[in-house]
Amino acid sequence: MPHDPYAWIEKSLTTIHRADWYRSVQTIDGRPGATVVLAGQEVINFASNDYLGLAGDERLIAAAIAAIEEFGTGSTGSRLLSGHRKLHRELEKAIASTKQTEDALVFSSGYLANLGAITALVGKRDLILSDQYNHSSLKNGAILCGAAVVEYPHCDVVALKTQLSQQRQNYRRCLILTDSVFSMDGDLCPMPALLDLADEFNCMLLVDEAHATGILGKTGAGCVEYFGCTGKPLIQIGTLSKALGSLGGYVAGSSVLIDFLRNRAPSWIYTTGLSPADTAAALAAIEIVQQEPQRRAQLWENVRYLKALLEHLPNLKLLPSESPILCFQLPNATDALKAGKYLRDAGIFAPAIRPPTVPTSRIRISVMATHQAAHIEKLVAVLKEMGSGEW
Ligand code: PMP
């Protein structure tokens, strides 16, 4: 029989299907918003990272169109060659000003910002301590850089301290990695305690503000601002693709750090600069976040309202959350898929999240500033039906 070196791929897919871990894309028509048309059906959208409802905002769209008119569609090269535009620097200055850091660097995505920063900062002689629930981009950055990687139990600063006491002295540099808002759980990292440990053990601390940017803290600067840690020695990563409604990622920190990354972060050096449209849309979004705090206030009002209504549904196993991300746990992937379908049939888009993305299956709900009270009430009514077990 002739060899087929690709035959394993189909077998692997079959295994994925059998475990109910198979994933496929779903088409959304039209602009993003609190309701969307999903495969032809209008649904209430609890599946979006567009927390402030800016991805379909006329002002972002106008800024993107104006940038295309002026600069064209593509950046045409890496930032260090032909791909740098004045818009990139304006955006970096706006991010640094929001974050109150000396400087910032814009990457083509948040994922690439994490890969770039981690691989530039640590290597074979170094140690990474990483929260077990960190986002894939932190985990893969840790693998890619070649450092020794130790995962500590989720948000467990006592366990982290034990690891540091046992291992720190064996390595040259140490980098602690954490999401600030955990993307598949919705809880927050213990940032002040992490900063104390970083100080005590002479470690760098990198926090991923992807789900905090624009929504947490008095001015929307993120979890760092929320915890009163502005100005502390840490490396902040974020994305322009969630509350800021665009695409791209950033690192914010000292000017020395940013200068170093411009010289050493491969996922920044060897990739094409962010497109003019994405850059301009993110800049417009940052201005709106600053000028319209009422959007953030409305988001948190919606979160409070949903949480208050969910208190009347004791059968749902809600995970602890301090963010617009709310998850309820289900026994397995099959039940999670069934729950997702039930919600969908009732006009609610709230996806099932299954292993290997998360250790346990769940339905993930993300609240937006643009949700109406009626949207939230409908979600709760459908969850109530599910909680009563009639599905
Ligand atoms: N970090 C976290 C915590 C995220 O949730 C995400 C996006 N899912 C990223 C990084 C990656 O950001 P981007 O989508 O801009 O690549």
Q: What is the ipTM of this complex?
A: 0.99
The residue whose CB lies within 8 Å of the most ligand 1 atoms, and thus the one to mutate among 51, 137, 139, is 137
**Beta carbons of 63 and 286 less than 8 angstroms apart:** no
Name the β-bridge partners of 251: 105, 237
Alpha helices in the chain (DSSP H): 7-18, 58-71, 86-99, 110-121, 136-145, 157-167, 191-200, 223-226, 255-264, 266-269, 276-291, 293-310, 333-345, 373-387
State the distance from the centre of ligand 1 to the C-alpha of 49, rounded, in angstroms: 10
Residue to probe by mutation, ligand 1, list 106, 111, 115, most atoms within 8 Å of CB:
111
Mention every residue, 6+ apart, whose C-beta is less than 8 A from residue 368. Answer: 34, 45, 48, 50, 51, 52, 53, 299, 302, 324
The Cα 109–Cα 300 span in angstroms is 26
Distance (Å, rounded) from C-alpha 198 to C-alpha 238?
A: 20
Question: How many Cβ atoms from other residues are within 10 Å of residue 277's Cβ?
Answer: 24
Closest atom, ligand 1, to C-alpha of 240? 15
369 CA from centroid of ligand 1 (Å): 20
- Ligand 1 binding pocket (C-beta < 6 A) is 109-111, 114, 135, 137, 179, 183, 208, 210-211, 239, 241, 249
Ligand 1 centroid to Cα of residue 41, in Å, is 27
> Residue 110 C-alpha to ligand 1 middle, in angstroms?
5
336 is written with which tokens? 């999670």
Tens-digit pLDDT string for the chain (391 aa)? 789 999 999 999 999 999 888 988 989 999 999 999 999 999 999 999 999 999 999 999 999 999 999 999 999 999 999 999 999 999 999 999 999 999 999 999 999 999 999 999 999 999 999 999 999 999 999 999 999 999 999 999 999 999 999 999 999 999 999 999 999 999 999 999 999 999 999 999 999 999 999 999 999 999 999 999 999 999 999 999 999 999 999 999 999 999 999 999 999 999 999 999 999 999 999 999 999 999 999 999 999 999 999 998 888 889 999 999 999 999 999 999 999 999 999 999 999 999 988 999 999 999 999 999 999 999 999 999 987 776 6
pLDDT at site 16: 93
**Residue of 14, 17, 43 lying closest to 28 (CA atoms):** 43
Question: Which pLDDT belongs to residue 283?
Answer: 98
Tell how far the Cα of 288 is from the centroid of ligand 1, in angstroms: 21
Helix or strand run (H / E) with residue 266:
helix 266-269
Q: Which amino acid is at 60?
A: L
Looking at ligand 1, which residue's alpha carbon is closest to its atom 5? 183
Q: Which domains does the chain have, with CATH numbers?
A: 25-56+293-387 (3.90.1150.10), 58-291 (3.40.640.10)
Give every CB contact of residue 5 below 8 A, 6+ residues apart in sequence.
none
Per the CB < 8 A criterion, the answer to whether 247 and 279 are in contact is no
Task: Using alpha carbons, select from 207, 213, 208 the residue that is nearest to residue 232.
Answer: 207
- Dist. CA 122 → ligand 1 center (Å): 21
SS (H, E, C) 112-137: HHHHHHHHHHCCCCCEEEEECCCCHH
**Alpha-carbon span 131 to 206, nearest angstrom:** 11
Cβ contact 219:225 at 8 Å:
yes
- Burial category of 338 from C-beta neighbours within 10 Å (exposed 0-12, middle 13-18, buried 19 and up): middle
pLDDT digits (tens, 9 = 90+) for 15-52: 999 988 898 898 999 999 999 999 999 999 999 999 99
For the purposes of burial, counting CB atoms within 10 Å of the CB of 315, is it exposed (0-12), middle (13-18) or buried (19 or more)? exposed
Q: What pLDDT does 387 receive? A: 76
Please calculate the CA angle 216-120-113 and round it to the nearest 5 degrees: 35
Q: Rounded to the nearest 5°, which phi and psi values hold at 222? A: 120, -170
Separation CA 319–CA 304 (nearest Å)? 15
Rounded distance between C-alpha atoms, residue 87 and residue 85, angstroms: 5
pTM score? 0.96
Helix (H) or strand (E) holding 278: helix 276-291
Backbone angles phi, psi at 152, to 5 degrees: -105, 155
Measured from the Cα of 247, ligand 1's closest atom is: 15
